[in-house]
Structure 1
Amino acid sequence: MSDANFKTNVTSDAFWLRTIYTVIFIVVIRLLDLVLLLSTLVQWVSRLLTGHPHKELGGFCQALGIYYQQVVHYLTGCSDEKPFPFREWPSTLTATAEENVPTSPDQ
């Protein structure tokens, strides 16, 4: 790498803007870890009390997983497209969410 490329990159507004977004999304992903922990506990309690997972929460968790993937792709440079709130929250099909969520421990 030449000194000219380095100087150009360091003085680039796009580089520093991406750096700011990276720091913000690192904080977001840490918060997502807490949401994941809480939703896991709620699903566990739901299975304990009712024998099956909470369907609405399952749909949210599926969207959360897609969002988590989008954030990771942005942070690692696999994608330049910023995730929510810069684009729509990931949507999931209810039928797909129901098919992927087992209703009994035997499945």
Structure 2
Amino acid sequence: MDSTLKAHLTHRQTWLRGLFIVLFSIIYSTAGMVLTAIVVFQFISILLSGACNPRLLAFARQLSTYLYQVLLYVTFNREERPWPFDAWPTAELAALTDGQRQQQY
């Protein structure tokens, strides 16, 4: 076996990254189900009251940003591991500008 290939196959960091990819893929699937439940709840909230739940709206923004960070990590577009190894996305980081969300339902 070529020594370069052997070095790549035995590189500890690569295998550790693979383990984290599996872990974050499971987290992504679970968080995706939570986000789906939020979407359904917000839709029902709009049907019944005509307005979104503001707390849930902020959490959905944070969760969406987190899912994006997970995707960046597992696709090798980000080196920093997402939460719980990094900070949870804040509402300010994930927030849309006021001009982007003015539509009334």
Q: TM-score range by the shorter chain?
A: 0.7 to 0.9
* Runs of 5+ unmatched residues, structure 1: none
Superposed displacement of residue 40, structure 1: 0.4
Which residue pairs with 1:87 in the alignment? Answer: 86
In 1, Cα distance between the equivalents of 2:97 and 2:57? Answer: 8
Q: 1:29 corresponds to which residue?
A: 28
1:57-106 deviations in Å (ceiling 9; x for gaps): 0000111111011000000000110000001100013xx4583544622x
Structure-2 change in CA distance of 1:61 and 1:101 (3 Å):
farther
Letter in 2 for 1:40: V
Report the alpha carbon displacement of residue 22 of structure 1 after superposing the two structures with TM.
Answer: 0.5
1:49 aligns with 2:48: yes
Question: Over the residues paired in the alignment, what is the CA RMSD in angstroms?
Answer: 2.0
Aligned length: 103
| Aligned counterparts of 2:84 and 2:14: Cα–Cα separation in 1 | 20
- Cα 1:97/1:55, change in 2 over 3 Å: farther
Please give the alpha-carbon distance, in whole angstroms, between the structure 1 residues aligned to 2:97 and 2:39: 17
Structure 2 length-normalised TM: 0.87
Percent sequence identity is 28
The equivalent of 1:104 in structure 2 is: 104
Structure 2 unmatched ranges of 5 or more: none
CA distance in structure 2 between the partners assigned to 1:25 and 1:81 by the alignment: 12
* Shift in Å, 1:6: 2.1
Contact in 2 for aligned 1:59/1:97 (Cα 8 Å): no
1:45 Cα deviation (Å)?
Answer: 1.1
Q: TM-score by structure 1 length? A: 0.86
